[in-house]
Amino acid sequence: MSVAEIFQTMDYGPAPESAAPAQEWLATHTEEFGHFIGGAWTVAASHFPSTNPANGNVLAQIGQGTDTDIAAAVAAASAALAGWKAQGGAQRARFLYALARQVQKHARLFAVLETLDNGKPIRETRDIDIPLVIRHFYHHAGWATLLETEYPGYEAVGVCGQIIPWNFPLLMLAWKIAPALAAGNTVVLKPAEFTPLTALAFAEICHEAGLPAGVVNIVCGDGETGAALAAHGDVDKIAFTGSTEVGRLIRAASAGSGKKLSLELGGKSPFIVYEDADLDAAVEGVVDAIWFNQGQVCCAGSRLLVQEGIAERFAAKLKRRMATLRLGDPLDKSIDIGPVVAPVQLQRIRDLVQQGVAEGGTLFQADCPLPEKGNYFPPSLFTGVEPASTVMAVEIFGPVAALMTFRTPDEAVQLANHTRYGLAATVWSENINLALDTAARLKAGVVWVNATNLFDAAAGFGGYRESGFGREGGREGMFEYLAADWLKQLPDLAAGDAVKLAVAPSETIAAGDGIDRTAKLFIGGKQVRPDSGYSYAVLNHKGASIGQAGLGNRKDIRNAVEAAVKASAWASATAHNRAQVLYFIAENLSARTDEFAGRLRAMGQTPASAKAETAMAIERIFFYAAQADKYDGRVHATRTRHVTLAMNEPFGVIGVVCPDQAPLLGLISLVMPAIAMGNRVVAVPSPRQPLAATDFYQVLETSDLPSGVINLVTGDRDELTKTLAEHDEVACLWYHGDAAGCAAAERASAGNLKSTWTNNGKAFDWRNSAQGQGVEYLRRATQIKNIWIPYGE
């Protein structure tokens, strides 16, 4: 073909990248690998093949990790922990810099190896994945240096078990290992069964960089190997990226273990296109959103929501662009889309697409010639679908998008949030006010404006809802690998007598010693009788009845959650206005100091203790009133020309289960930071000493607190907790009780994967301000949304 003919057709010629670096590296290992444990390679008892998804050829035999291998790796990490922490942040930074430089030195090997093992185009591994890996190690070397000044009062969690997926094998490794090492932790990492090779190559550069033995350990294997790692008793933190289903299993299995947990799970991300958008740019955005990495991206913009007036024109442009996408050998630098990772994944994509057609969706597939060998699937677009259609609701994890229309911004937001996930979203509009208003209303951990799939080590990434909890990257990501000093030093909760709920009809009023009455529940701003019609006797330290409290049940919790959901305007109130309400609560409680101190005396406290607890409760409300408009977000300094806003957002409805210790102060210490950040609360007061809490709602009634922001349901702690934990509208759960109750609360929360914070059976000293108040409470009451806003041309 002549040059003139090439300019007429503009066809791409082949531009192959040599596989030689990877093949040579594999040959040095005789194409067979064990595990990297304690700074040395081990011999595996059995192996499984790692294959090239582009042609099915076996690349290497990979060791299948056993319980014994996991135990050895955890032991090596435990042995190395004290020495690694003692290195200090500055010395750990040197190792992280060395790892970054080693990845740079071997960049071509890593890029080719990743493409062979995963199937993603070499352009993506070379130009996106590997540079981001290097960026993460450099960035977190900086955090290691700054750790003592930027995170005072925090220390390493300990031994971290990390389980990564197959869609970004080396990048996910960097996301997890870099912050863990910077914080002073040691690591046992299990790469995905389909894509272990770059993790094994990384183990080699750990040795080359002189990393102390046992600091990083790599154990390969299937799901059973990962389960063994997650279940090991000496693992202090689990970091998992993968499917929501497996994340749910890990949440349930780790319940009560005391392990710190972060989950980055599935997604079904909306891609909103308003009628004023640059349509050609938005079409390219779709290419990056859903056909990047063959659609095997947890935050892939697979739900296209296009404003009705431009939908037909946009769809036509998109179909024309799809026709130009090229499938083929991922080592060809002119290829856009490679194979999906494995035959089993390819079959899943086919099944879901067939289901979409069977449900009445209109399928358009690009007329791309598919290679005879390999796990290839053409770029696909569904139209004529509904919000409940399978292709709009289920994560396909392949190159398949579905398009729906909307008329108004409100409808766009409603459709976008109509999902159980909440990982990421994209908004296209030339109207910055409209774009930011939409971004703020979307239930997603990351929102890109006029761009998509932007990542950087300086900006946190993570989701809401069933997309998991915790963040990776940025300042917020470092917290996942740190623990507050005081949390690690808490003593075990002393075993107390079980609360005996002497149930009686609610009309029964016990004889008492002063201010006896049957306390009601507080739901939706009103005092209400419990649904059961029963109450229970509240006893003082001598066993004498001092009153009755309502015996709440499942229906009372459901009513309270419904009231809290309806109070959503509290989240959009200004921080200043929320602060004013908290100040008013503190002032009204102060006016009744003697009454509340008297109630605490009646429950068995000494006069001095009762007075001190009441005074500290008032001070604590003032503290969170002051913090309401001081706990700011940040602008992250990412590498691209974006203002990346890290916004502290409330969870929504938080379930708060209060301790028996310090019945007034414990309630205040948990509820006030939650509402100061814009959450609404359904609180279960101490079942043993609930009357201080039921007195407190009289203060709330006179303090301009909107109805439903605080709801109080008294009764059996663990029965009510189970309902809170299982309720899908409860986004977060804080629990204080014994170790068995903590485990049950975490296990029951696996249903919608709500974030939990329990006392792990430990005793908080509520009168110690270092333990009973502070930024840790505000951090636990918020989730960070990162909004990427472009600027410049």
Please check whether residue 399 is in contact with residue 380, taking contact to mean a CB–CB distance below 8 angstroms.
yes
Residues contacting residue 539 through CB under 8 Å, at least 6 positions apart: 500, 502, 545, 546
Residues contacting residue 357 through CB under 8 Å, at least 6 positions apart: 363
- Specify whether 31 is catalytic: no
What sign results for the dihedral spanned by CA atoms 447, 563, 658, 767? positive
Please check whether residue 474 is in contact with residue 636, taking contact to mean a CB–CB distance below 8 angstroms.
yes
- Specify whether 298 is catalytic: yes
Cα angle 351-357-362, degrees, rounded to a multiple of 5 = 135
CB atoms near residue 497 (< 10 Å): 6
DSSP string, 588-616: HHHHTHHHHHHHHHHTT--HHHHHHHHHH
CB pairs under 8 A, 24+ apart, for 586-594?
A: 586/618, 586/621, 586/622, 586/625, 588/699, 588/702, 588/703, 589/614, 589/617, 589/618, 589/621, 589/696, 589/699, 590/618, 592/699, 593/618
Question: How far lies 725's CA from each of 463, 555, 581, 688, 745, in Å?
Answer: 19, 14, 28, 21, 6
Name the DSSP letter for residue 423. Answer: S
- Catalytic option among 193, 264, 472, 613: 264
Residue closest to 392 by CA, chosen among 497, 274, 270:
270
- Catalytic option among 220, 298, 732, 742: 298
The CA-based dihedral angle spanning residues 427, 430, 434, 440, taken in that order and rounded to the nearest 10 degrees: 40
DSSP string, 505-533: ETT-----SSS--EE-EEETTEEE--TT-
Residues contacting residue 771 through CB under 8 Å, at least 6 positions apart: 486, 490, 764, 765
Please check whether residue 697 is in contact with residue 712, taking contact to mean a CB–CB distance below 8 angstroms.
yes
As a whole number of Å, the CA-based R_g of the chain is: 28
Q: What six digits make up the tokens of 102? A: 């080693």
Residues contacting residue 230 through CB under 8 Å, at least 6 positions apart: 161, 163, 238, 240, 250, 253, 254
422 φ/ψ angles, rounded to the nearest 5 degrees: -170, 50
Question: How far lies 294's CA from each of 127, 191, 450, 458, 739, in Å?
Answer: 16, 20, 21, 26, 45
Please identify which residue in the block is written with the tokens 């609180």.
Answer: 683
- Chain centroid to Cα 541, Å, comes to 43
Residue closest to 404 by CA, chosen among 556, 534, 250, 273:
273
Q: What six digits make up the tokens of 523? A: 């739901």
In the structure, how many helices (H) and strands (E) does the chain have?
A: 30, 34
Helix H or strand E encompassing 79: helix 67-86
Question: How far lies 505's CA from each of 49, 131, 349, 460, 535, in Å?
Answer: 67, 68, 58, 52, 6
Residue closest to 22 by CA, chosen among 139, 148, 153, 118:
118
- Chain centroid to Cα 592, Å, comes to 41
Please check whether residue 299 is in contact with residue 467, taking contact to mean a CB–CB distance below 8 angstroms.
no
Question: How far lies 628's CA from each of 138, 579, 671, 683, 784, in Å?
Answer: 34, 5, 13, 20, 16
Please check whether residue 543 is in contact with residue 516, taking contact to mean a CB–CB distance below 8 angstroms.
no
Strands 502-505, 534-539: pairing kind: antiparallel
Ramachandran class of 304: left when φ > 0, alpha when ψ lies in -120 to 50, beta otherwise: beta
Which residue type is seen at 689?
Q
Q: Which residues are marked as active site?
A: 264, 298
